[in-house]
Amino acid sequence: METILEDQRRLHEERERLIDLQTKELLRKKPTTKEQINSDHLVKLLWDKYIESTSNLINFYEDNDGLRKKEIQLLSGPNEYSEFNSRLKSIITYHKKSNLSDSANISVPMSIEYDNLIKSIQSNDDDAGALVNFTDEEGFGKYLDLNELYQKYINLKGVDKINYIAYLSTYDHLFKMPRERKNQDYSRYLQALFNYLFDYLQRVKPLLDVSNEVEQAKVEFQTRWLEGTFPGWPKETTGALTKTGAYLDLSSYSSWEELASLGLDRLKSALMALGLKCGGSLQERAIRLFQTKGKRLQDLDPSLFAKSQNSKSKELNDKHKDIAELEAKVYRMAEILGPQRNATIENVQRKQALTPGEREQEEEAEIVAEESEEEEEDDGIIYNPKNLPLGWDGKPIPYWLYKLHGLNLYYNCEICGNHKYRGPKAFQRHFSEWRHAHGMRCLGIPNTAHFANITLIEDAVQLWEKLRVTRETDRFIPDNQEEYEDSHGNVLNKKTYDDLKRQGLL
């Protein structure tokens, strides 16, 4: 039913709606990491559809098959009215044959179609809104999950057995690995590390062109490899004069017998320096070396050279280059994922400091936080089924913090009018606050340190009576406790002294 021009119009409309949806999605506030990642994936999905629509539109405009030009000629030619009538007739015939009661035959406007698409993607029922999957350890893009790669690393031959936190800090310090230990097992570990980081980066940052970052890393690697400045791989000098072994000046030797007196090891070293075969008996080595006297290497018999040395060296160099290229890619991935690595180290250190009970409480708190985020309504009503206190951000505090401060415990104070205090900290603080002081004043009792932790009126009254009796007992009475001394040195209290003095007996 649709013509080429109608298809072009539809594609133009689709591109405009896709740009509008991307703009709205980028401007929408995303308070959590999960919403941010889902939003980025949604924008990536819309962008891919935009590129696909643009490509189809270009194909229409190029008109390689000539159908668009033919259709325009039919509409603008001398028989445009007859063409219009024929198309109108085909439309009427189509609707007569079609069952309009069937919803499949009703065309849905593009605006409604895209609105339904966004709503279905953004819905959070049963994680339907998650456009990408993460493991529990990754925390939906917050942390790295390198446990499996850590096990592969510590099983490599010759590496130091470090803990997981040290591995997280140094997994990209590949230049510290000795060159002779970078074997096939190391290459397989490196490939697995790169594959994980590449896949994780695509999931965390879908709007980043990860493939382009890898290509840039490869270009930079090629330059540094040729210059010999790539970390962990210093440039090796290669050529005819830089082979393993020590050269020997043959000008002072007139026969191979004199060379044989140098011994097997010295002859082998001299042959290796020239790139010649170094095997055989003492006589064979001496004769082979003496044949090079006064000749250039190019003039020697090719059978004297070690045939497979150059090919093996080239093959080994290619293997080393492939391993070094993988290292360059890992360096680039680790550089981009720096914030996630720092967050992972902090998270692992925090979890290691928790007891099993605290870990369970933290998991419960995370579940409660996720539920509150998912079911929070637009009218500002906060989902708080456990009646947790609100924090500085206006949201319920974590459940583990709620338990840590003992906010699940309530303390009743009868002196304060049976007022309940939440948590031991608030309970201890209330003894110096106005409510408790007012209650003590009403009882006629001073609010001193003697009555700390006293919450019952009966206990406070009994303690006050006991304190009063003690005070009366300890009160200073001058007649009984003030002492005097007579002329004979006798010590008397004030009352006795005054009586004897009045009687003249002193």
Q: Which of 439, 480, 444 is nearest to 456 (CA)?
A: 439
Residue corresponding to tokens 């003095």: 501
Burial class (CB in 10 A: 0-12, 13-18, 19+), 489: exposed
Q: What is the chain's mean pLDDT, rounded?
A: 82
pLDDT at 237: 44
Average pLDDT over residues 305-332: 76
pLDDT for 256 = 81
- pLDDT of the residue at 241: 35
pTM: 0.56
The string over 176-203, giving b where at least 16 C-beta atoms fall within 10 Å of a residue's C-beta and e elsewhere, is ebeeeebeeebeebbeebbebbbebbeb
Calpha distance 414→411 (Å, rounded): 10
Instruction: Dump pLDDT digits (tens) for 95-134.
Output: 777 665 555 555 667 777 777 777 766 665 444 446 788 8
Check whether 277 has a pLDDT greater than 80.
no
Asked if residues 308 and 279 have their Cβ atoms less than 8 Å apart, the reply is no
Confidence label for 411 from pLDDT (cuts 50, 70 and 90): very high
Residue 152 or 31, more confident: 152
Share of the chain above pLDDT 70, in %: 87
Res 238: pLDDT? 40
Which of the four pLDDT bands, split at 50, 70 and 90, describes residue 456? very high
Please check whether residue 337 is in contact with residue 144, taking contact to mean a CB–CB distance below 8 angstroms: yes
pLDDT tens string 462-474: 999 999 888 888 7
Distance of alpha carbon 217 from alpha carbon 194, whole angstroms? 13
**Residues 217/154, Cβ–Cβ less than 8 Å:** no
Taking the C-alpha atoms of residue 411 and residue 421, their distance in angstroms, rounded to an integer, is: 5
Contacts of 354 (CB under 8 A, 6+ apart): 362
pLDDT confidence band for 426 (50 / 70 / 90)? very high
What is residue 478's predicted lDDT score, i.e. its pLDDT? 73
Q: Percentage of residues in the chain with pLDDT exceeding 90?
A: 26
Going by pLDDT thresholds of 50, 70 and 90, the confidence category of residue 191 is: very high
- 314 pLDDT band (50/70/90 cuts)? low
Residue scoring higher pLDDT (386 or 297): 386
Are 25 and 14 within 8 A, CB to CB? no
Query: What distances in angstroms separate CA 482 from CA 45, 469, 470, 471, 494, one per listed residue?
Result: 99, 22, 20, 18, 6
Q: What is the mean pLDDT of residues 89-95?
A: 80
Looking at residues 86-90, what average pLDDT do you find? Answer: 82
**Predicted pLDDT at 128:** 44
Model pLDDT, residue 90: 81
The residues, ordered by sequence, that sit 6+ positions from 265 with a Cβ below 8 Å of its Cβ are: none
Residue 301 has pLDDT above 90, yes or no: no
Q: Using 50, 70 and 90 to split pLDDT, how confident is the model at 93?
A: confident
Average pLDDT over residues 42-49: 89
Q: What is the pLDDT of residues 221-258, one digit of tens each?
A: 998 888 888 888 876 544 333 345 566 777 778 888 88
Region 296-310: what's the mean pLDDT? 66
Stretch 45-74: mean pLDDT: 87
Q: Which whole number is the average pLDDT over 501-505?
A: 83
Mean pLDDT of 259-285: 81
For tokens 């590496």, the residue is 159
Gap between the Cα atoms of 443 and 456, Å rounded = 12
pLDDT of residue 197: 93
pLDDT at residue number 279: 79
Contacts of 422 (CB under 8 A, 6+ apart): 389, 407, 409, 410
Q: State pLDDT tens for residues 348-401.
A: 888 888 787 777 777 777 666 665 555 554 445 677 888 888 887 788 888 888
What confidence score (pLDDT) does residue 379 get?
47
